[in-house]
Structure 1
Amino acid sequence: MAETEKRANAAPAPHAAPSEAELSRRFQQLALPHLDAAYNLARWLSGNAGDADDIVQEAFIRAFRFFGSFRGDNARPWLLAIVRRTWYTEWRRRANSLELAPFDDDLDETSIFDETSSAFADPQTLMLQGEHARLVHEALEKLPVEFREVLILRELEDMSYRDIAAIADLPIGTVMSRLARGRHKLAALLAPLRDEGRAGAHTTTKESPDGLQ
């Protein structure tokens, strides 16, 4: 009886740590489906396909190293945050200091959030349209990286403000502000590209079959 009570009052045995094979299997299930998103973010941050490959490889190595501490079933924000940190670590190493372009403080609060003021205020819609997608991508490459990353995560990866905030290590309000500013900057960059495209199309329609006006 005493022995039975002793066993009943004893502390429960700790759960055995998962084996490396179990961790590897779970990592493949939860992280590998987001490989394309990881590469997409790395490609837009670095602007270079070769760098993006290196960033993703290093990020996945880091992610697996710390995967034992990951909790939950949605590894996407966690993984993309590692991709982002990996890139900025490499950027700092190369540049010896990180200097982001300053925000455009000429925009007042009303203009920042008045997204109906431009025909190009909805980048997500344009990204789904063939020729417009090319123009949007060209304009995105010209944006400062702090605006480009939130636009990519929101418009291309369709991530929530909360997830973007976790990935970029920013308050949600800052994410929303950067998105608004980024959209306006993108619209400003797209305007001349749009006009140039329209002018080219107009010239083409005016030409005769033999190329004469």
Structure 2
Amino acid sequence: MKRFEELFAPHLDAAYNLARWLTGNDSAASDVVQESALRAFRFSQRFTDGNAKAWFLTIVRNESYTWLKAVAGRHWVAFSDEHSEEDELPSQAHSPELLAIHTENASLIQQALCALPPAYREVIVLKELEDLPYKDIALVADIPIGTVMSRLARARAMLKLELMKLHAHE
């Protein structure tokens, strides 16, 4: 138990973040992270050395895709506009106009990111939100580093295109 707490527990937030972006569903993300944590705990003796975060996120990625296959045919679910208690509270320095713009931009980015295919969404999430280096993304996604870089470049271009589409519809 102590080994799990030292190696993998610090990465539970990153695991949930990845699972939520891949599944598009809060409840599914929680289930995926719970199952992934159980697997990491059961098989922690297999992890001998290296990057614990990448190893754990690989399990989360695989569990997320297993969940997606189980609900095949289902459409991607857009994220809700609900905010958790942990969301950043507005400071008094922000005007209502700036807060409205920030909220609208965040919503557009979420919509655009949800429109990307999972393989592209995952590299964006792992790089831009989890700040993993290319080599760790390659481990998590089980693809060569060159593929990570090209997929990330393509994902960024696709994200830009989606944002432009959404902006045009305003």
With normalisation by structure 1, the TM-score equals 0.62
State the alpha-carbon separation in 1 of the partners of residues 72 and 166 from structure 2: 31
Quick one: which amino acid aligns to residue 144 of structure 2?
P
| CA displacement at 1:73 relative to structure 2 | 6.1
**Which of 91, 98, 102 is the aligned partner of 1:130?**
102
Matched, 1:91 2:94: no
Indicate conservation of the 8 Å contact 2:19/2:64, yes or no. Answer: yes
Partner Cα separation in structure 2 for residue 73 and residue 168 of structure 1? 16
- Count of aligned positions: 142
On the 8 A contact 2:23/2:67 being kept in 1, the answer is no
- Of 37, 40, 46, 1:60 maps to 37
SS of the residue corresponding to residue 71 of structure 1 reads coil
CA displacement at 1:74 relative to structure 2: 3.3
Q: Percent identity?
A: 52
User: Which of 138, 145, 148 is matched with 1:175 structurally?
Assistant: 148
Instruction: Note if contact 1:30-1:75 (Cα within 8 Å) is conserved in structure 2.
Output: yes
- Measured after TM superposition, the shift of residue 90 of structure 1 is 2.8
Alpha-carbon distance in 2 for matches of 1:31, 1:76: 7
- Structure 1 counterpart SS, 2:127: helix
Could you tell me whether the CA contact under 8 Å between 1:30 and 1:74 is conserved in 2?
Answer: no
- Change in Cα spacing, 1:194 to 1:93, as seen in structure 2 (3 Å) is closer
Counterpart among 135, 153, 158 of residue 185 in structure 1:
158
CA contact (8 A) 1:30 1:73 kept: no
Q: Cα offset for 1:61?
A: 0.6
CA RMSD of aligned residues (A): 1.9
Return 5+ residue gaps in structure 2 as ranges. 74-100
Task: For 2:20, give the aligned amino acid.
Answer: R
Residue of structure 2 equivalent to 1:74:
51
Query: Could you tell me how far 1:195 is from its partner in structure 2?
Result: 4.6
Cross-structure match for 1:35: 12
Which one-letter code corresponds to 2:26 in the other structure? A
Return closer, same or farther for 1:28/1:182 CA change in 2, 3 Å cut-off.
same
How far has the Cα of 1:52 moved from its partner?
0.6
Question: In structure 2, the residue corresponding to 1:95 is in which secondary structure?
Answer: coil
- 1: CA distance, partners of 2:70 / 2:166: 35
1:95 positional shift:
3.1
Bigger RCO of structures 1 and 2 (CA < 8 A, at least 6 apart): 2
Q: Distance in 2 between matches of 1:156 and 1:69?
A: 27
- The CA distance in 1 between the partners of 2:149 and 2:22, in whole Å, is 19
Deviations 1:32-73 (A, max 9, x none): 111000000000110111111110010011111110121236
Correspondence 1:96-111 to 2 at 5 A: none
State the 4+ residue runs in structure 1 displaced beyond 4 angstroms: none
Partner SS for 2:38: helix
